[in-house]
Amino acid sequence: MLLPILFEDDDYIAINKPSGLLVHKTKIAKDDNPQFALQLLRDQIGQKVYPLHRIDRPTSGVLLFSKSAAAATLFQSQFTAKEIEKSYLAVVRGYMPADHAVIDHPLKKELIGDLQEAKTEYWKLAEVEIPMASSSKYPSSRYSLIRLYPHTGRMHQLRRHMAHSRNYIIGDTTHGQNKQNTFFRENFDMNNLLLHACKLGFIHPLNQGKVEINAPLPPHFSTIMEAFGWDMEGI
């Protein structure tokens, strides 16, 4: 597997991580021979790399690495100071309650620990009502395309916050709604999470220039966009 490279210089490199690919080796992987972005990228460019952040296995999009431990250390202060700009796109169940709002809802650390502050800002980009029933309660189904910005970095934060508002992210098998996931599998042959890390912005630690990295949508996301009549150029 060749990973799509979105950005590269002497110190940092970013890829468009496919949905289903782990960032690095972990005990949670139940596959017999799981693949890891860290190892694949190392082999692809022929040098050691260091992941600077994580995105969930089913999430696609921008994933940034450094090419040295020193470069990684220089970058970490931006994460600590919350200076990294991370934007996500998601398709969710139903219409959003507002065009723009902040979900301020504490979440348990690592899903089981003490409650921690958690804030997610969202913007509604598009919505649709399709003449297909995903529930026995209604003859049609409603969905929204939203942009998400996590102000904090809790485990599964975006997925858990959308579940809290009952606007479940489509394809989320952990925090989502099974009937919606089944509906998309049966009607759109869609088995992926519709959550994509579309943009990462930061100040380069060495040259102090602004870097903005954008990740094109994966095919499974584009398929749903087309089916719902959503055009990214008009959003």
Instruction: Report whether 57 contacts 36 (CB < 8 A).
Output: no
Residue type, 142: R
10 is catalytic: no
Q: Which of 11, 56, 99, 114 is catalytic?
A: 56
Taking CA atoms, 84 is separated from 5, 78, 197, in Å, by 20, 6, 13
Q: Is 149 exposed, middle or buried (0-12, 13-18, 19+ CB in 10 A)?
A: middle
Q: How far apart are CA 144 and CA 221, in angstroms?
A: 13
Taking CA atoms, 162 is separated from 1, 21, 94, 165, 210, in Å, by 32, 22, 11, 5, 30
Question: DSSP character for 49?
Answer: -
Q: How many CB atoms lie within 10 A of CB 141?
A: 18
For 201-232, the three-class secondary structure string (H helix, E strand, C coil) is EEECCCCCCEEEEECCCCHHHHHHHHHCCCCH
Strand intervals (E) in 96-215: 100-104, 107-108, 115-116, 119-130, 141-150, 195-203, 210-214
Residue type, 114: D
- Residues annotated as catalytic are 56
